[in-house]
Amino acid sequence: MTFDWNYMLSLLSDADFWLATWTVIKLSVLSWGISIILGFILALCQQATHPLLNIPARGYIWLFRSLPLLVLLIFVYNLPQAMPSSSVLLSDPFYAGLIALVLSETAYIAEIHRGGLLSIPKGQREAARALGLRFTGIQWRVIIPQAIRVALPSLANEYISIVKLSSLVSVISLTEILMVGQRLYSQNFLVMETMAAVAFYYVFIVTVFDFLLKSLERYLDVTQRKNARSIDPALLELALQPSPVVPRTTTDNSIPALQATRLHKAYNNVEVLGAVSVQIRQGEVVSVIGPSGSGKTTLIRLLNGLEQIDNGEILINGQPFIQLKKQGEQKPRFVEHPKHRLNIGMVFQSFNLFPHLTVMNNLLLAPRYHKLAPNSELKRQACSLLQKVGMLEHVYKYPHQLSGGQQQRVAIARALMMRPQIMLFDEPTSALDPEKVNEVLQVIEALAQEGITMLIVTHEMNFAFKVSDRIIFMEKGRVVCDDTPQRLRDGRHPRVEAFLKDVSLA
């Protein structure tokens, strides 16, 4: 028996095959796209802490990953027998097949999304939250773009699986590629030739979409972009226009800008912060120093609401920002008043720039989200701040194209774009090479000279004693002393003197 090449090649122009190919493309693309959206919602619910979201999501994934697609197809197609009202939709094999594929693939794609979400560093969410973005804004503008890029290779692979699984839809009489092939070889018995043509159409679909998805993957992968375009002369002109950092104002300068009272925090019943009270006046620069593990970073994270307090209260301009409310015998409830969040800017020790955005878009993301000003004005402010921190020439670069010191300077400019009343710095130089430390400290010192209220957690003793109005020394989760740099130099606090014994203060 010889292989009939002429017959096989003639099938490559067969109208029924091409019509069935279009059906497979529509079915696979729709089921893939819908499953990506529903799978992402399911992945978020699976990661939620509330059992009403978490348990149903886990149950759905367990159930539909356990059911064979063939069983699901037959069940969905025959559902009108039990629910006659569903026959309007499910009597059409295309929609029955689409629903069955979506039900099945959503469970698998949810797990792909979960892997993508888990790959995004926690600092990305914290940076977005510190800029005042709400949950939906954080997901849509920060997490989803990064998670999709991470998950795209697996999502592309899942699309190929859907294309091949679409052959099962023939069991509910949908005219797709395999059914056309079966119909033909049952008439002429040329099985090999017909199946070779069927294989061609599946390979054709997979090859075309694999190329498209690979192109999308390369486009989304900003780490592969090497060269940033040259700076626009119009941006240079904007940067030359003076734009001093103008923090949010208060009506009464006698009220402390930030006041924390008896803050307490414990992890797994181990106290890391106990009864700490801090007060910062308008325009004051306060540094927090102390040995590692003394609770400095925990304090600054509590002040910004990135960690929940176990006890205490935090006021901004005399108004509650973070507090615990207790009703009757119920456990105290953590309450944050988000209207005050924009008053606090945060600079992290690990920068936490958004890697999928350019320097300019890192600065513009939050102000655009909050609609603080027209876009042209925001660009002018961004250019001016980048000029102030010496980063204007890098405006079109991505974070991966910058050094650590450059990234930290951009992070400072990003925080200043919100015109915060108070700036919090969490060991801003600890992740930098020694040669990059000075360029960041010089930027912070310049801000101090402009009168911006700042709280700085730092290990740079000379810097702390140079720029600070007050220095807080912490140890074992307590404030040991809170005094001026001069009084600390004079040796009035023995514990601080012992801590600084090997430090040569300029």
Question: In this structure, what DSSP letter does residue 167 have?
Answer: G
Spell out the residues 6+ positions from residue 466 whose beta carbon is closer than 8 angstroms to its own: 445, 485, 506
Work out the average pLDDT over 120-131: 94
What kind and span of H or E run contains 286?
strand 285-289
Backbone angles phi, psi at 85, to 5 degrees: -65, -25
Return the number of other C-beta atoms located less than 10 Å from residue 202's C-beta: 18
**SS3 string of 366-403?**
HHHHHCCCCHHHHHHHHHHHHHHCCCHHHCCCCHHHCC
Task: Inform me whether the pLDDT recorded for 48 exceeds 90.
Answer: no
CATH superfamily entry for domain 258-499 = P-loop containing nucleotide triphosphate hydrolases (3.40.50.300)
Q: What's the mean pLDDT in 52-69?
A: 94
Lowest mean pLDDT, pick from 65-79, 225-239, 293-307: 225-239
Predicted structure pTM score: 0.86
H or E stretch covering 149: helix 144-165
User: Which of 483, 148, 106 shows the shortest CA–CA distance to 289?
Assistant: 483
Higher pLDDT, 429 or 225: 429
In angstroms, the CA 187 to CA 169 distance is 21
What pLDDT, on the 0 to 100 scale, is given for residue 315?
93
Contact 481, 310 (CB under 8 A): no
How confident is residue 293, by pLDDT bands cut at 50, 70 and 90? confident
Tens of pLDDT, residues 137-186:
999 999 999 999 999 999 999 999 999 999 999 888 888 898 999 888 88
In angstroms, the CA 387 to CA 444 distance is 14
Take residue 193 and report the two structure tokens written for it. Answer: 């030739």
Which CB contacts under 8 angstroms, 24+ apart, belong to 147-150? 147/113, 147/116, 147/117, 147/119, 147/120, 148/116, 148/220, 149/217, 149/220, 149/221, 149/356, 150/115, 150/116, 150/119, 150/120
In this structure, are residues 379 and 396 in contact, taking their beta carbons and an 8 Å threshold?
no
pLDDT tier for residue 501 given thresholds of 50, 70 and 90? confident
What integer pLDDT is reported at residue 436 of this predicted model? 83
Instruction: Give the tokens for residue 96.
Output: 């029955």
Over residues 63-86, mean pLDDT:
91
Per-residue confidence (pLDDT) for residue 228, from 0 to 100: 62
Strand order of the β-sheet with 344-347 is 344-347, 422-426, 453-457, 285-289, 470-475, 478-483
Q: Which amino acid is at 442?
A: Q
Position 17 scores a pLDDT of: 93
For 150-176, b/e burial (b = at least 16 CB within 10 A) is: bbbebbbebbbebbebbbbbbbbebbb
* pLDDT tier at 382, thresholds 50, 70, 90: very high
Question: Average of pLDDT values for 479-484?
Answer: 91
Alpha carbon distance 325, 202 (integer Å): 61
Beta bridge partners of 289: 473
Q: Is it the case that residue 39 has pLDDT exceeding 70?
A: yes
Report the sign of the C-alpha dihedral through residues 111, 52, 134, 285, in that order: negative
Q: pLDDT at position 185, please?
A: 87
| 367 Cβ contact list (under 8 Å, min separation 6) | 373, 378, 381, 417, 418
- Give percent of the chain above pLDDT 90: 57
Plot region of 477 (φ>0 → left; ψ -120 to 50 → alpha; else → beta): left
258-499 shares the fold of 16-220? no
Note whether 414 and 446 are within 8 A (CB): no
Q: For residue 359, give both structure tokens.
A: 């320097």
Answer whether residue 32 shows pLDDT above 60.
yes
For the domain 16-220, what is the CATH code?
1.10.3720.10
More confident position, 220 or 23: 23
Q: What is the mean pLDDT of residues 197-219?
A: 92
User: What residues does each domain of the chain span?
Assistant: 16-220, 258-499
Question: Containing H/E element for 206?
Answer: helix 191-220
What's the whole-number average pLDDT of the chain?
89
Average pLDDT for residues 465-482, to the nearest whole number? 91
CB 452 within 8 A of CB 247: yes
Contacts of 221 (CB under 8 A, 6+ apart): 149
Q: Is the pLDDT of residue 244 over 60?
A: no
